Amino acid sequence: MYTKKVYKVLDMAKWTRYETLLFTGIISASVSLYYFFDLDWLKIPWTPLALIGTAVAFVIGFQNNSAYGRIWEARKIWGGIVNTSRTFGTFVQDMVNNEYATEKLSKEELHQEIKTLTYRHIAWMTALRHAMRVSKPWETVMQEKANREWNEMVSPPEWESNVEDDMAPYLSKQDLEYVMSKNNKQTAMLYLQSHHLRRLKEKGVIWEFSFLELEGIVQELYTLQGQSERIKNFPYPRHFATLNHYFMWIFILLLPFAIVSQFAEIGTEISISKPVIGGLFIWLSIPFYVIIAWVFNTMEKIGRTGENPFEGSANDVPISTMARGIEIDLRQNLGELIEDIPKQFAVIYDTQM
């Protein structure tokens, strides 16, 4: 456990190393100007800077709370998809039968109907997770260099395949052609499910009350899909995110003018009894500035990374893993052999996608 914590700290340091180097350069330049060129007038009082820092801290806190709210809502939505999918699989197996059928189906035919409905549901999840991974213009976090480096090691499986190939094993040729002709493929899938259920009800293979129950499940899937699409298609308001980023950088760029002069004054007091230490004390402002700037920048960066919980970053809701987990459950309960079912997506660097 201790080793994992150390690795996480190192990963965080690596993730922010470019900004850390920039902060080191900014403060080193400021100290050098103050120390070597005697620019003791190059300073600002702490009071206005403290007010700016307080405002920035409040805005960053608001951004992080909002970003976490979006992530948590997305996680609850996909948790609902997990539960509703299991319910759908159970209902289909128990409600598709010959009890009220006008023409009895064979055991193999009943199993095929159940399998078709179950596989189409898996295809619906596949289409939905692919739709959630489509890049939007406002999703810019993954364009940052550190995040691009991370994605070279860990990236969503949807980026390595296309939706048609991933859905093909679960749909008939006719259904696949119909779905691929639609813009919203997951919605088209639920239309097919409803039509199929209606046909089975007309044959008596599904009792009318059971049909209503299953249609209620389809309605719930529409609701969950719409909620997931709402988060994907509605960005975190740009005026909050953009201005917060600018405010943070204003604070970081002004901070050296206050912190360097403060350390210089302390060094002057120390030099009365310890001249060498007092003369060099100003250089201690470098690590202190870097720590302060790193904290503010990292908190703001965490908020930006969490704004879009389906973008494809390491901190996203692991919709690929969740969808594959549901698929494994449904297919195992269909009686399929473990070796015939796709394996769960691998966890890489303690990250699920």
Q: Is residue 53 part of a domain?
A: no
Give whichever of 18-32, 176-190, 301-315 has the largest mean pLDDT: 176-190
Q: Is residue 54 part of a domain?
A: no
User: 98 and 184, same structural domain?
Assistant: yes
Alpha carbon of 329 to those of 8, 87, 252, 277, 352: distances in Å? 32, 11, 51, 67, 18
User: 284 and 248, same structural domain?
Assistant: yes
Q: How far apart are CA 190 and CA 196, in angstroms?
A: 10
User: 213 and 87, same structural domain?
Assistant: yes
SS3 category, 351: strand
User: 201 and 107, same structural domain?
Assistant: yes
Per-residue pLDDT averaged across 42-59, rounded? 87
pLDDT for 40 beyond 80: no
pLDDT, mean over the chain = 88
SS3 category, 25: helix
Instruction: State the residue for tokens 């919605």.
Output: 187
Q: Is residue 154 part of a domain?
A: yes
Of 133, 197, 203, which Cα lies nearest the Cα of 161? 133
Q: How far apart are CA 98 and CA 286, in angstroms?
A: 78
Higher per-residue pLDDT: 215 or 264: 215
User: 248 and 201, same structural domain?
Assistant: no
Give whichever of 10-19, 52-61, 72-81, 145-154 has the largest mean pLDDT: 72-81
Alpha carbon of 231 to those of 30, 176, 198, 234, 289: distances in Å? 43, 27, 31, 5, 37
Q: Is residue 249 part of a domain?
A: yes
Instruction: State the residue for tokens 């409040």.
Output: 58
**Domain end position, chosen among 306, 328, 344:** 306
Between the two ends of the chain, the Cα-to-Cα distance in Å is 22
User: 189 and 93, same structural domain?
Assistant: yes
Q: How far apart are CA 260 and CA 110, in angstroms?
A: 78
Given this model, what pLDDT does residue 126 score? 96
User: 249 and 269, same structural domain?
Assistant: yes
- pTM to 2 decimal places: 0.87
User: 171 and 107, same structural domain?
Assistant: yes
pLDDT for 4 beyond 60: no
Q: How many domains does the chain have?
A: 2
Q: Is residue 67 part of a domain?
A: no
Instruction: State the residue for tokens 């494994």.
Output: 328
Of 196, 195, 199, 185, which Cα lies nearest the Cα of 123? 185
Q: Is residue 60 part of a domain?
A: no
Of 219, 158, 155, 222, which Cα lies nearest the Cα of 184? 222
Given this model, what pLDDT does residue 281 score? 85
Alpha carbon of 19 to those of 46, 145, 172: distances in Å? 24, 11, 51
User: 250 and 212, same structural domain?
Assistant: no
Provide the pLDDT confidence category of residue 8 given band limits of 50, 70 and 90.
low
User: 96 and 21, same structural domain?
Assistant: no
CB 143 within 8 A of CB 151: no
pLDDT for 252 beyond 90: yes
Count other Cβ atoms within 10 Å, centred on residue 280.
Answer: 14
User: 227 and 84, same structural domain?
Assistant: yes
pLDDT for 280 beyond 60: yes
Q: How far apart are CA 155 and CA 138, in angstroms?
A: 19
Task: List the domain range (segments joined by +) for residue 96.
Answer: 76-236+317-353
Given this model, what pLDDT does residue 242 score? 81
Lowest mean pLDDT among 33-37, 92-96, 175-179, 196-200: 33-37
Q: Is residue 117 part of a domain?
A: yes
User: 104 and 180, same structural domain?
Assistant: yes
Q: Is residue 257 part of a domain?
A: yes
**Domain end position, chosen among 285, 306, 327:** 306
pLDDT digit string (tens) for 123-162?
Answer: 999 999 999 999 888 887 777 777 777 777 778 888 889 9
Given this model, what pLDDT does residue 311 score? 87
**Domain end position, chosen among 306, 327, 345:** 306
Given this model, what pLDDT does residue 3 score? 57
